[in-house]
């Protein structure tokens, strides 16, 4: 037994620091580059709003599509190999962006970064489970603690990354992309040496009729359609926010500060909104989608009347970021709890996959329309708020649909 404890404790404590540091690096590299992508397409490549929206939507769609297969892949090749594959994919994507002077390389880059980003979560989850394998006490205590530390490290990286982008964007977007390449290549080499070899799990068993249960659950399908407006709304931090910053005359580097603020607010608001967790899921979702709609209505009036003059000129954009994050924090955890309610004892994986697919498709279809609307109305004072009112419509409809679907939701029926 002593020998077994030594074997288990080595990967748990030796690899935990590596997982924590790698998560911080991954988040930092992502937010060093991606927040500035839309401004690069707008200012340097001179792409139309429709094309910019399509590129942003394509990245989200690729990532959500990959979420449908990443668990299967993790159990097939092991957590370590999947993590290294994610590093390689991200490095390749940022390399394409570093050379992107035309749409072809740009599209390849956003596809690869979207796919690569979806590989990390199941890889890290599997590695943390492997770290505690064989000792239930370690698995329940230390691995949970490790997971919390990894999450915090990711949030810190997501603050540092855009702040570095704020200071370095003057060197050019391609320089930032090269920074992302360096981080992921260095992380891949380092993790290949430091992480213990993965346990190889057999492929996840396929449950017959799993997707049939989803497709026959009409109530869930309506819910998935309503939920899709969340991802469309959240994606506007990457599309509408930078375009608005440019249209209002703001400087490019300030998008980095806005994203750093977004992550910081998300960390703080999560604690502040815990008092709402005793409410019914339907109430939380209606509040969340209503908050998202309010964020867009607020920006509609800002777009009509506002210009970014001085540091205080950016305060309305900070308020928009704050409202979007409040909506996200109310919607996402609540939806995760409701999935168990819809699955009713069946496998939850296809339900999560359906939500990912519906959200990704909504962003893919909606973002080009939003991008084109923003470009078409940017010079009109009377129509400047139109794109934002259109965006506000979708989460408002979602709030109404959920309110009608769950007039008396059993808050803890499962």
Write the DSSP string, 187-206: HHHHHHHHSPPPP-PPPPPP
C-beta contacts of 127-130 below 8 A and 24+ residues apart:
127/15, 127/19, 127/79, 127/80, 127/83, 127/195, 127/198, 128/19, 129/79, 130/11, 130/79, 130/196, 130/198, 130/199
Cβ atoms of 356 and 67 closer than 8 Å = yes
Which pLDDT band holds residue 348 (cuts at 50, 70, 90)? confident
Of 266 and 325, the one with more pLDDT: 325
Q: Is the model's pLDDT at 135 over the cut of 70? A: no
Architecture of domain 213-407: Up-down Bundle (1.20)
Of the pLDDT bands very low, low, confident and very high (cuts 50, 70, 90), residue 266 is confident
Among candidate residues 320, 352, 299, 165, the one with its CA nearest the CA of residue 237 = 320
pLDDT band at 310 (very low <50, low <70, confident <90, very high): low
Q: Domain 1-194's class?
A: mainly alpha
For the CA atoms of 314, 289, 339, 349, the dihedral, rounded to the nearest 10 degrees, stands at: -50
Task: Write down the domain spans for the chain.
Answer: 1-194, 213-407
* Arithmetic mean of pLDDT over the chain: 84
Question: What's the number of CA atoms in the CB half-sphere (13 Å) around residue 378?
Answer: 16
pLDDT tens per residue across span 162-188? 999 999 999 999 999 999 999 999 999
Q: Which of 240, 378, 246 is nearest to 320 (CA)?
A: 240
- pLDDT value of position 11: 44
What six digits make up the tokens of 138? 């370690």
Question: What is the Cα–Cα distance from 151 to 24, expressed in whole angstroms?
Answer: 9
Q: Which whole number is the average pLDDT over 119-143?
A: 64
On the question of pLDDT at 231 being above 70, the answer is yes
More confident call, 249 vs 363: 363
Checking if the pLDDT of 410 tops 50, the result is no
What is the chain's alpha carbon radius of gyration, rounded to the nearest angstrom? 22
Q: Is 354 helix (H, G, I), strand (E, B) or coil?
A: helix
Higher pLDDT, 349 or 1: 349
pLDDT score, position 210:
72
Query: Which residue carries 């604690």 as its tokens?
Result: 271
Return the pLDDT at 133.
Answer: 55
Cα–Cα distance measured from residue 90 to residue 109, given in angstroms and rounded to the nearest whole number: 9
Q: What is the pLDDT of residue 368?
A: 97
pLDDT for residue 7 is more than 50: no
The answer to whether domain 1-194 and domain 213-407 are alike in fold is yes
pLDDT value of position 409: 47
DSSP output for 180-249: HHHHHHHHHHHHHHHSPPPP-PPPPPPPTTHHHHHHH-HHHHHHHHHHHHHHHHHGGGTTHHHHHHHHTT
Q: Which of 226-235, 272-281, 366-375, 378-387 has the lowest mean pLDDT?
A: 272-281
Helix pair angle (103-131, 2-33), 10° resolution:
160
Q: How far apart (Å, rounded) are the C-alpha atoms in residues 2 and 365? A: 58
Q: Is 174 exposed, middle or buried (0-12, 13-18, 19+ CB in 10 A)?
A: middle
Diameter over CA atoms, the chain: 75
Is the pLDDT at 126 greater than 80? The verdict is: no
Are 43 and 169 contacting, i.e. CB atoms less than 8 angstroms apart? Answer: no
Q: How many CB atoms lie within 10 A of CB 250?
A: 20
Higher pLDDT, 81 or 70: 81
């Amino acid at each position: 037994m002593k020998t077994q404890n030594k074997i288990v404790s080595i990967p748990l404590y030796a690899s935990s620091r590596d997982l924590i540091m790698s998560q911080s690096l991954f988040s930092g590299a992502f937010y060093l580059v991606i927040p500035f992508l839309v401004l690069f397409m707008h200012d340097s490549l001179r792409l139309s709003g429709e094309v910019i929206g399509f590129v942003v939507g394509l990245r989200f769609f690729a990532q959500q599509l990959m979420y449908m297969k990443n668990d299967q892949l993790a159990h097939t090749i092991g957590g370590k190999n999947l993590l290294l594959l994610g590093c390689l994919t991200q490095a390749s994507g940022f390399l394409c962006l570093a050379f992107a002077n035309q749409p072809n390389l740009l599209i390849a880059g956003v596809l690869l970064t979207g796919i690569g980003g979806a590989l990390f979560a199941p890889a890290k989850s599997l590695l943390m489970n492997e770290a505690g394998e064989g000792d239930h006490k370690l698995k329940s205590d230390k691995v949970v603690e490790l997971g919390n530390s990894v999450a915090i490290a990711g949030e810190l990286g997501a603050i540092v990354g855009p702040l570095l982008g704020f200071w370095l964007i003057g060197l050019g977007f391609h320089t930032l992309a090269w920074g992302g390449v360096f981080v992921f290549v260095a992380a891949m080499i380092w993790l290949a040496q430091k992480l213990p070899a993965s346990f190889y799990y057999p492929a996840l068993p396929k449950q017959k009729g799993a997707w049939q249960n989803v497709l026959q659950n009409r109530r869930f399908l309506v819910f998935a359609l309503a939920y899709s407006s969340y991802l469309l709304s959240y994606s506007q931090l990457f599309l509408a926010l930078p375009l608005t910053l440019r249209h209002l005359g703001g400087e490019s580097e300030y998008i980095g500060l806005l994203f750093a603020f977004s992550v910081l607010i998300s960390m703080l608001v999560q604690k502040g909104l815990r008092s709402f967790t005793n409410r019914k899921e339907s109430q939380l979702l209606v509040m969340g989608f209503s908050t998202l709609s309010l964020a867009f209505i607020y920006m509609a009036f800002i777009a009509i009347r506002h210009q970014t003059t001085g540091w205080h000129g950016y305060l309305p954009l900070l308020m928009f970021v704050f409202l979007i994050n409040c909506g996200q924090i109310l919607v996402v955890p609540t939806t995760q709890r409701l999935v168990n309610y819809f699955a009713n004892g069946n496998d939850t994986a296809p339900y999560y996959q359906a939500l990912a697919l519906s959200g990704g498709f909504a962003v893919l279809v909606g973002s080009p329309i939003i991008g084109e609307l923003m470009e078409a109305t940017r010079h009109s004072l009377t129509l400047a708020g139109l794109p934002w009112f259109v965006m506000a419509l979708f989460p408002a409809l979602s709030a109404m649909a959920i309110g009608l679907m769950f007039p008396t939701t059993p808050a803890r029926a499962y």
